[in-house]
Each structure stands twice: as C-alpha cells, then as structure tokens.
Amino acid sequence: MDPQAPKVLKKLTLNAGALRRLAEVHRNWRLGRVNGQRLMLSECNLAKLDLSLMEFTDAYLVRCNLERTNLRGTIFRGAVLTGSIFDEADLTGANFERADMRGAVFHGTDMTRTALAAADLRHDFSQRTGGAGTQWDEAPACRFRGAKLAQTIFKDAKLVSVDFSGSYMLETDFSGADMRRTNFAAAELQGIRLTQAELEDADFSHASVDQMTRDQVRAAQLPVGSAPRLSPGEVKERLGLHARWVNTLGQAGQRLELEGFDLSGLDLSRTNLAAARLVGCRLTRTNLRRAWLLATDLQGANMSEADLSGADLRGADLREAHQRGLTADEAKTGEIPGVGMKTRGFRS
C-alpha cells in the first residue's frame, strides 16, 4: 500500500475550523508543495457551516451533507461532488465550473450568479438500487426543485433528465447545454437563454414563462404551458362558495379545487381555505397570513417566498411543495383535534 496515497475521510461530522485546515493542506497539494494532500471526503456531515469564500478546486466531496451551508463565493471548480446534498444552502456567486455533480441535490437552494459552465449534472449510476440491469431513468440526476437560479450560468453543462420543477429562473444561461428530458413543472422562467441548447423531450408544458422564453421553446417545437389564472372577481366568488361549503359541512356551496392554477402574489390573508385542494398551484409570494389551511391539500404547490405567518396549517399536506424562502412565523402545525390528520411535508 502506498503510504503517500490520498486518504478518504468517511462518515465524519466536521466543523468549519477542521475544513479550513483541510482546505489549506489541499491547497498545498494543488501547488505541489511538501505535505500537501488532496481533500477527499465521503458521506461527511458539513451541514450549516460557514464555508464562504473557501476554495475546493479539484476536491473530492462525495455524498456529503451540505444542507443550509453558507457557500457564498466558494470555489468548487473541477471538484467531484457526486450525490452530495446542498438543500437550502446559499451558493450565491459560487463556482462549480467543470465539476462532477452527478446526482447532487439542490432543493430550495439560492444559486444566484452561480457558475456551472461545463459541469456534469446527469444521472449518478453509482446510486442505482436495482443492480446492473437498472434502467436509465431509475438512476438519480441532479434536482433543483424550488431553487433560485437568477443569472446562474449552465453554459455547455450536461443536464440530461435534471429536475428544475418549482424553480425560479431569471436570466439563466443554458447556452449550448444538453437539456434533454429536463423537467420545468411549476417553474417560473424569465429571460432565460437557450441558444444552441439540446432540448429534445424537455418538459416546459406546466412552466410559467415570459414571452422571450416562450418564443425560444416554441422555436424548438416543444409545447409550453401557462397556468390558468382567475380574475379578482372569480377569486372572490370561488372563495365565497368555498367558505359556504366549509360552514355547512358540504351541504351547500362548493369546495375550492384549483389544481395547477396560478395564485401567485394574491392577498389571501385571513381566508378560509380549510380542506381546499390546491395541488400543484403557484403560490409564490402569496399573502396567506393568518389563513385557515386546516387539511388543505398543497401537494406539489410552489410556495416559494409565500407568507404563512400565523396561518393554521394543522392537517395540511405540503408533501413535495416548494418552500424556498417561505415565512411561517407563529404558524400552527400538527394534528387537528378529534380528526387525527397531521401536518405533512412542512419544512420549518
């Protein structure tokens, strides 16, 4: 065994001080100095640390947990980050150019001005569970569900089958990227660039897009959707019928069922939405302060930056809902007394 071979540190919980010391040894390795050694971590816990402005170029951080970690301005150029978790981390201005990020997860992450040019974000076949015969779609690709991707650069990146559902994109650059089979369900896309991108079987059918993005998607002969939106009068009428339905225990009025509708930015504060069905709705930046959301079905809804302060969420179902930037100060969660229904999927 080569005593000079790099050592992989496995299943450790590390603090910021330890990471800075390891990063310095890694820097010496990159510069060819004596006593330098490549940083190699596997399944380590780095959650909630402040690692901003650090450099991990060519480092190896496989299946590590970086949930809610401060990585503003951190450099991961050429790093191997396969299967690592970056949920709700702050990656503003970080650099992942040419990094191997196959199967990494970025749910609710802020990636404003993050550089991912030429990065590999495809399937991670090392995480297959079905053996050698496992099909392509059973291996996980990168997931950016509910992520903020403003002025993020994916130029020439490998994005086959990547999940961007519920994400917010502003002036995101996909020029020359391989975007085959990507998913943009419930995503909000403004001013994105798709020049020379490969878009075969990309799904924009349930995305909210501006005219610039719509023109590019249509030029690729792909369907592009637009979530239905109610007029203020229709909203008032539907809410009135629903309140009557709740108050009469279903004997009069009509249950509110708006699957896939655009309710973004509306003022629904103090509104009775108990037992409403709002599956897959866009509720971004919606005011739901002190709203009644008991037993409300919000599965798959995009609730990024919504305000639920003081709302009653007991029994509500938020599984698969996008919750980046959601405010829920003093919100009630848990079980509805005497009913047995509990809040599900809520990320506090």
Report pLDDT digits (tens) over 17-35. Answer: 999 999 999 999 999 999 8
Question: Is residue 30 assigned to a domain?
Answer: no
How many structural domains comprise the chain? 2
Q: Is the pLDDT of residue 140 over 90?
A: no
In a domain? residue 78? yes
Instruction: Assess whether 283 and 194 both reside in one domain.
Output: no
- Residue 59 pLDDT exceeds 60: yes
Average pLDDT over residues 169-177: 97
pLDDT bin (cut points 50, 70, 90) of residue 126 is low
Instruction: Characterize the bridge pairing of strands 208-209 and 168-170.
Output: unpaired
Looking at the fold, whether 108 and 156 belong to one and the same domain comes out as yes
Question: Are 107 and 251 contained in the same domain?
Answer: no
Question: Among the listed ranges 83-92, 128-137, 273-282, which one has the minimum average pLDDT value?
Answer: 128-137
Contacts of 161 (CB under 8 A, 6+ apart): 122, 123, 136, 137, 141, 180, 181, 182, 183
How far apart are alpha carbons 294 and 167 in whole angstroms? 26
pLDDT at 138: 47
Pair 196, 236 in one domain: no
- The verdict on 79 and 173 lying in the same domain is yes
Does the pLDDT of residue 124 top 80, yes or no? Answer: no
- Considering the domain architecture, whether residues 203 and 237 belong to the same structural domain is answered as no
Give the CB-side neighbour count of residue 193, counting CA atoms within 13 A.
Answer: 15
Query: Does 54 score more than 50 pLDDT?
Result: yes
Query: For residues 348 and 332, what is the distance between their CA atoms, to the nearest angstrom?
Result: 11
Indicate if the pLDDT at residue 226 is higher than 90: no
Mean pLDDT, the chain, whole residue set: 92
Same domain, 257 and 338: yes
Question: How is 148-217 classified by DSSP, letter by letter?
Answer: EEET-B-TT-B-TT-B-TT-EEES-B-TT-B-TT-B-TT-EEES-B-TT-B-TT-BBTT-EE-HHHHHHH
Assigned domain for 147 exists: yes
Q: Which of 194, 226, 258 delimits the end of a domain?
A: 226
Query: For residue 238, how far is the Cα from the chain centroid?
Result: 31
Q: How confident is the model at residue 253 (pLDDT cuts 50, 70, 90)?
A: very high
* Span 141-158, average pLDDT: 95
What pLDDT score does 129 carry? 44
Assigned domain for 15 exists: no
Last residue of some domain: 226, 241, 260? 226
CB–CB of 334/341 below 8 Å? no
Paired sense of beta strands 208-209 and 188-190, if any: parallel
Domain that holds residue 57: 42-126+138-226
Q: Are residues 197 and 57 in the same domain?
A: yes
179/273 same-domain check: no
Q: Is residue 11 part of a domain?
A: no
Domain presence at residue 26: no
CB 127 within 8 A of CB 105: no
| 128, pLDDT greater than 60 | no
- Does residue 239 sit in the same domain as residue 305? yes
Percent of the chain exceeding pLDDT 90 equals: 82
Statement: residue 131 has pLDDT above 80: no
Q: What are the residues whose beta carbons fall under 8 Å from the beta carbon of 342, sequence distance 6 or more?
A: 314, 315, 334, 335, 336
Distance CA(117)–CA(175), nearest Å, equals 9
User: Among all chains, which residue has been given the structure tokens 């802020």?
Assistant: 110
25, part of any domain: no
- Whichever domain contains 219, its CATH number is 2.160.20.80
Residues 66 and 44: their CA atoms lie apart, in Å, by 9
Asked which of 226, 252, 267 is the last residue of a domain, the reply is: 226
Based on the fold, state whether residues 117 and 209 are members of the same structural domain: yes
Burial 303-316 (b: 16+ CB within 10 A, else e): bbbbbbbbbbbbbb
| Mean pLDDT to the nearest integer, 191-196 | 96
Question: Is it the case that residue 125 has pLDDT exceeding 90?
Answer: no
**What would the mean pLDDT of 220-224 be, rounded to a whole number?**
90
5 pLDDT tier (thresholds 50, 70, 90): low
- Give the pLDDT confidence of 290-342 residue by residue, as tens digits: 999 999 999 989 999 999 999 999 999 999 899 988 999 999 999 999 988 99
In a domain? residue 24: no
State mean pLDDT over 51-61: 98
Residues 215 and 291 in one domain: no
pLDDT over 50 (residue 168): yes
